[in-house]
Copies of this chain bind each other. A is one copy, B any other.
Amino acid sequence: MAQLSAGDELKGRRALITGGLGFIGSNLARRLVADGVEVTLVDSLVPEYGGNMFNIAGIEDRVIVNISDIRDRYSLAHLVRGKDLLFNLAGQTSHMDAMADPYTDLEINCRAQLSILETCREVNPEIKTIFASTRQLYGQPQYLPVDECHPLRPVDVNAINKLAGEQYHILYHNIYGIRTTVFRLTNTYGPRMRIKDSRQAFLGIWIRCVTEGIPFEVWGGDQLRDLTYVDDVVEAMVLAATSDSADGQIFNLGGEGSIDLRSLADLLVDLSGSGKYEVREYPRERIAIDIGDYYADFSLAESTLGWTPKIPLAEGLMRTLNFYREHLPHYI
């Protein structure tokens, strides 16, 4: 008899994914649809963010799409009702945009999160919620690898607001018994990531440049990073959705080891069979919010959820390159 996967337990459940047309949300939607989950996606399609109708190509008839903004609490109240699971992934993720317009970042990453949790409390306190947070909360690491006990020293407005959003989730678990799990994501990559510009992730624009055959820029180059392939992030979220021991917990996700940016650039060029890059000094306006080296200790996710990253970096990058070679026009 085949072993049941975590996803089998979810068959027939009803899930809402905020940011559902975005990078992680749409990959999660594909996985959940395959597992027999009734999936509703909510997305604002704000042009600078990651929502893209093409991200659900092939599953568009098997999901419900609701275009609205998580800042609109009335639409959320309607959508949250009757769901078993809430994957709360919508967010403003650009650190530079957050510094330029801190109020919008606050409204999305802080106030809307409070509003979503109040909505759960009012209309559906039984719902199970998975929240996507960020390693950016830790600021510049004081030790490596960084575990969940590391001090929280946000170095930009985005991280301060994300921290508040995360803390609301844990608080609503502790006070009101809402079942919430928080993941602090590191650099997540894979098909359907936003590659239009460097707004959200350096790797996106690298992949675009390599695919288009133009040189890309590596800023600095010595910084260590860890990367998680999107399917591994999705697996962690599915595991949390089916685990009571994840309730009220915060988990780091990470990758297999760490890599400096120059080596990562070399690997990408190697895998693509073409492409080149230039190393540039770190831009002045970004130095103040840079965090230096980072890689995560994800042993808590390992011991509690049985999660480890499964997809090796070279394989994940190859899959990603192949995806954009085929679908580039939908992402630029």
Contacts and interface: CB of A to CB of B under 8 A. Distances in A.
A328 interface: no
Nearest to A149: B151
Given A167-B160, A174-B155, A114 B118 contact: no
Contact of A167 (B114, B154, B288): B154
A99 B152 CA distance: 24
B174 A288 contact: yes
Interface in A143-195: 149, 151-152, 154-157, 160-161, 163-164, 167-168, 171, 174-175
Contact of A163 (B103, B106, B167, B289): B167
Contacts of A262: none
Contact of A160 (B115, B164, B288): B164
A290 to B, nearest CB: 12
Contact of A289 (B99, B114, B175): B175
A261 interface: no
A249 to B, nearest CB: 13
A102 interface: yes
A62 interface: no
A38 B163 CA distance: 38
Contacts of A289: 175
A167 to B, nearest CB: 4
Q: Which of A99, A111, A167 has the most B CB atoms < 10 Å from its CB?
A: A167
Interface string A200-225: 00000000000000000000000000
A103 B111 contact: yes
Contact of A151 (B106, B151, B168, B175): B151
Interface of A: 99, 102-103, 106, 110-111, 114-115, 118, 149, 151-152, 154-157, 160-161, 163-164, 167-168, 171, 174-175, 288-289
23 contacts: A99-B175, A102-B114, A103-B111, A103-B114, A103-B115, A106-B110, A106-B111, A110-B110, A110-B164, A114-B157, A149-B151, A154-B171, A155-B171, A155-B174, A156-B171, A156-B175, A160-B168, A161-B164, A163-B163, A163-B164, A163-B167, A175-B288, A175-B289
